[in-house]
Amino acid sequence: MQQTHRKTDPPQRCELLVIGAGMAGMAAALFAARRGIDTILVGESSEIIFASGLMDLMGVHPLAQKRVWHDPWAAIRRLCRDLPAHPYAHIPEAGIRRALETVFSFLESAGLRYFRRPQRNCRVLTALGSEKITYGVPRTMAAGVQVLERKKPCRIVDIQGLKGFSSRLIVRARHRSWPGLDAARIVFPGMQDRTEVYAEQMARALEVPRQREELARVLAPHVKGVAAVGMPAIFGMYHSDAVCRDLEQRLGVPLFEIPTFPPCVPGLRLKEAFERRLPELGVRLITGKRVVSADVSQSNGFAFGVGDDLAVAADAAVLASGRFLGKGLWADRRRVRESLFDLPVCQPDSRRRWHRRTFLDSRGHPLNRAGLEIDARFRPLGTGGRPVHRRLYAAGSILAHQDWMRAKCGSGLSIASAWAAVEAFIRERG
């Protein structure tokens, strides 16, 4: 809930301030709350809503060879050997496992079940008809993992008026490798007069049983003779698992969701689940505001300004403010900078080296690895190579020496580094 204090009011006090409400910030707040730490989380509506809801752990390494790994743990071990500065190299494997399982079980308690196989990555079908490698998939996508593996007869159903999702495009992209795939189109019940329909509206509508009954009636002619039916991700907002199961029971066939283009309903579900459940664990959420100033001069803690009207005093802080999209990093004509503390950013020595010649170079662009260098306790380093502050930590995509998008490790790295930062604070605090 938003507060209405002015900065002249006494500051809100906490042990730990988490800056940023993306995957790293939400996970850090969760871990801290679970360890009994009095925590405030500040963040604007996060980039999490652009995410597909998939939980990547580690999929591709080395990038130049585009080597795809079935076992994400073996991939992480190899990565840590090859790139000792990568943030994963500072986290014990047992810690990464514990962190992930804590997040999965938290999400399950919020009604968002995830399907994963402990030692193996999954492949999912994308809205472009390509395959994406990932680790954990919302349970509403699980049947798609299974039919994709076995290339079973399957129908993709799109919805008239929904932009960016075409069943015919998906089928055309897959026709050689998956001959048993075909396409159909429906009109979403109650939206027949609209030229454009939106995934979020349909997801909210399907929370209502009557609407599911109508959708099942419209879908029924399209489910015969196939092992599963794939649809854009619209199966509910708050109870997606139950919505999917209810539709499956009505139709007598497994259904699966395919992530749509952003903003994507499974990303919204994650945001909603965290924002609903974290306060129940005691986290104080200040959403829709940014931390605008930080005073690190006090050796025992920090004083922060939040938005126009709030002050927060904290013993420690986790900076989980992301990269350029969330404005944790920004770039002028010459350099990349960290936005809040003006921390040193590890980056190529000249702008000419930010990017390679071709956009799709499989090695990725050096700029994508720019970010904060940290010590083994996830504390950002100053210019002298020493931690800037003994209780300032960093987590997530803002960290240097990683390219989460190409390596397919976005959520996994955010969650694991958030866990490591919180654990480091607990050790430091004694």
Ligand X SMILES: Cc1cc2nc3c(=O)[nH]c(=O)nc-3n(C[C@H](O)[C@H](O)[C@H](O)COP(=O)(O)OP(=O)(O)OC[C@H]3O[C@@H](n4cnc5c(N)ncnc54)[C@H](O)[C@@H]3O)c2cc1C
Residues forming the site for ligand X (CB under 6 A): 19-25, 42-44, 46-48, 50-52, 54-56, 134, 262, 290-291, 320-322, 325-328, 339-340, 396-397, 410-411, 414
Smallest distance from the beta carbon of 136 to ligand X, in angstroms?
9
Smallest distance from the beta carbon of 239 to ligand X, in angstroms?
22
Alpha-carbon distance 61 to 363, whole Å?
10
Residue 189 or residue 259: which is nearer to ligand X going by CB? 259
Q: Residues near 122 by Cβ (< 8 Å), separated by ≥ 6?
A: 115, 116, 133, 134, 135, 136, 137, 145
Residue 157 or residue 285: which is nearer to ligand X going by CB? 285
Residue 327 or residue 356: which is nearer to ligand X going by CB? 327
Residue number of the CB atom closest to ligand X: 22
CA distances from 165 to 22, 55, 155, 195 (A): 26, 21, 14, 15
φ/ψ of residue 406, rounded to 5: -75, -35
Residue 164 or residue 262: which is nearer to ligand X going by CB? 262
The sign one gets for the Cα dihedral 396, 397, 399, 401 is: positive
Smallest distance from the beta carbon of 160 to ligand X, in angstroms?
25
The DSSP string of 110-152 is TT--EE-BTTB-EEEE-TTS-EEEESBEEGGGHHHHHHHHHT-
Residue 321: half-sphere exposure toward Cβ, Cα within 13 Å: 24
Smallest distance from the beta carbon of 272 to ligand X, in angstroms?
14
Smallest distance from the beta carbon of 289 to ligand X, in angstroms?
7
Residue 147 or residue 319: which is nearer to ligand X going by CB? 319
Smallest distance from the beta carbon of 182 to ligand X, in angstroms?
26
Alpha-carbon distance 255 to 122, whole Å?
17
CB-CB neighbours of 67 under 10 Å: 12
Residue 20 or residue 189: which is nearer to ligand X going by CB? 20
CA dihedral 94, 96, 102, 108 (to 10 degrees): -120
